[in-house]
Amino acid sequence: MSAKDSLKNIIGELPLSAEIYWLLRRKQYGGGHFNLRALEKLLPGLREQVEPLARKAPRGRHVLIFSTLHYWIEHAALTGLALAGRGHRVTFAWLPYSNWFSPVNKFDLRKRDLYVSNLLQAAGPLLEPLPLLRARRAAALPEALQREVDQVAIYDTQYTMQVEDVDRSSEVYRLRRARNDFAARTTYAWMKSHRPDAVLIPNGMILEFGAVYAAARALDIPAVTYEFGDQANRVWMANNSQIVRHDTGDLWAARKSQPLTADQRGWLEYLLKARQNVTPDDTFARLYPQFASAQGGDRIRRILGLDERPIVLLPTNVLGDSLTLGRQVLAGTMTEWITGVVRYFAGRPEVQLVLRIHPGEAISRGPSIEEEIRKVTPELPEHIHLVRPKDPVNTYDLIAITDLALTYTTTTGLEIATRGIPVITGGETHYRGRGFTIDPASWDETIAALDRVLPQLGRLRLTPEQLDLAWNYAYRFFKEYPRPFPWHLARTIDDLKTRPMEYVFSEAGLAQYADTLDQLAGAPMDWSNI
C-alpha cells in the first residue's frame, strides 16, 4: 500500500473525517471508477413513477437486496425500485467497492459509502438503505458457515487469478477472505435480527455475493440468485441455489416430455445460427469474440493440416471461470481432466484430437490452458492439434468436421449435441445426465467409454431419440430457463431508455415481466406453467 493510502487509512479512522470532506467537496465521489452518475440523474424521475405504483400495489414480501461494485449497485437499485413498484418492501444493502481485487483505503471507502447513501435519498422510502460499512457485525460466524465463507475466498482467488491452485498466503486470497468475512458477518447479524422474507443476490457463488448467499442459507432464509448470460432482455435466476450452477433439474422434469412444436424448433434454429454470429441482431447483449468468420470445414482442415482420420474436439473453458468452479467429477481440477485426455490421445494416433482453447483467454489475465498442457506434454504428437484463442479459426467450423466432442462445462457441448455429434462430459455441466450425452462417473469409466466409442467414429451419431432430447433440452435451456427481464447488466442504462419503467409497469410490460419480478422477490418458479 502506498504512503498516501496508508495516511488515508489513518485519516479514515478519525470520526467524521469523511463526512466533513463530503460536505465540503460533495462532487468528489472517491475515484477508483466508482461512478453512479447515471443512476443519480435517473433516481428522482424513477421515484415519481414508482411511488404511486407502490402505494396501490398489494403488500408483498420484505426483500433484502445486497450488492457491491458500482455497476451491480446501479443495476440492483433499478431492480429494487421495480420490486417496490410491485408492492414489496425493499431493504437495499451495499458495500462500496469499485473492484474485487484491489485494496482501498478506509477514507476513500467511507467517501464512497457516503456517496451511495446521499444518492439513495432520492429513492425515498422505496429503498430502505442499509450501509454495511456502518452496520453491526456478528462477533463470530457458526463454524459451518465460516467454512463456506472461506471456500468462497478460494473460488474468488481462482476466479481473479484464473488459476486452479490457490496460495492462501497471497495478497488476493487474504483480501478476498477479509472482505467476504466482513460481508458475511454484517449481513448475518442483520438478517438474524430482521428476518426478511427473501434475499436477492447476484451470482451467489463468488465475491461478497457468495458470502452473503451462504449467510442467508445458514439462517434458512430463502435466497434468490441471478445472473445475466449472453441473451438480451433475459435473466437467469434460481431459488436457494447458486445460479451459475445452472440447476435445470426442475425445468427439465417439468418440460422434457413435451415435444417441440415447429415454431419452437424454428426459434432454436435461429438462435443457434445467431450464436455463430451468422445473424447479427439484438438477440445478444454480449458474445465472446470469434477471431475469424466461418470459412467452412474443408478450409479449416487445410489450415490445421487435418487429414481424413476421425476428429475429436475438446473445446476448453477459461481457467477460473465461475462456471467451472467446484464442478469436478472425474479429476481434482479441470486441468487434470484435460491433461489426462491429452495423455490418453497421445497413444491413439488413429484419431486426431483438436484442442480449441477458449477465445475468452484472449482477454484473460491468468495462465493459458496451453501452458498447463505443455507442462505435462511438452511436445505434442502430430495427431494432436492446438487452436489458440486468437487463431483465425471459427469454433463452429471445427464443430462441422467433428466426430466426437469432450467437454467440461462449456455450453458449446450442448450445441454440438444438437448436431447429432456424440459428447462425453468431464465436469458437472447443466446438460450432463439429460439423456443425450455420455456421462462417465470416474476416470476409468471415461477410458472405457473412449475405448468403446473411438472404433465407431465416422459412423457413430446420436440416435433419433437422443437428438430429439438434445433439441428439446437446448430449447428449454436457451428459451425457457432465462426469464424475461427488461435491463441487462451489460447495457443497463441503454436498456432503460428502450424499456423505461413506465413500459415495465404498463399492461404489455407486466405481461412480460410481472412473474419474473415476483420470482426475484422469492415467489416460487412454476416451470410447468411458463
**254: which residues sit within 8 A by CB, 6+ positions away?**
527, 528
The C-alpha atoms of residue 407 and residue 414 are separated, in whole angstroms, by 9
The C-alpha atoms of residue 19 and residue 25 are separated, in whole angstroms, by 10
Give the tens place of pLDDT for each residue, 296-316.
888 889 989 999 999 999 999
| CB burial string 52-61: b at 16+ within 10 A, e below | ebbeeeeebb
Please name each of the domains of the chain with its CATH number: 3-251+484-520 (3.40.50), 288-480 (3.40.50.2000)
pLDDT at residue 427 in the model: 93
pLDDT at residue 368 in the model: 83
For the chain, give the mean pLDDT: 90
Give the tens place of pLDDT for each residue, 415-462.
999 999 999 999 999 999 999 999 999 999 999 999 999 999 999 999
Range in 47-56, 173-182, 312-321 with the lowest mean pLDDT = 312-321
Q: Is the pLDDT of residue 247 over 90?
A: yes
The pLDDT confidence band at residue 13, using thresholds 50, 70 and 90, is: low
Q: Is the pLDDT of residue 12 over 50?
A: no
pLDDT at residue 24 in the model: 54
The pLDDT confidence band at residue 77, using thresholds 50, 70 and 90, is: very high
Q: Is the pLDDT of residue 97 over 90?
A: yes
DSSP string across 28-59: ----TT---HHHHHHHHHHHHHHHHHHHHSPP
The C-alpha atoms of residue 291 and residue 282 are separated, in whole angstroms, by 20
The C-alpha atoms of residue 342 and residue 372 are separated, in whole angstroms, by 11
pLDDT at residue 22 in the model: 55
Range in 274-288, 334-348, 366-380, 487-501 with the lowest mean pLDDT = 274-288
Residue 202: other Cβ atoms inside 10 A: 27
Percent of the chain scored above 70 by pLDDT? 91
The C-alpha atoms of residue 237 and residue 475 are separated, in whole angstroms, by 17
Average confidence (pLDDT) over 226-254: 95
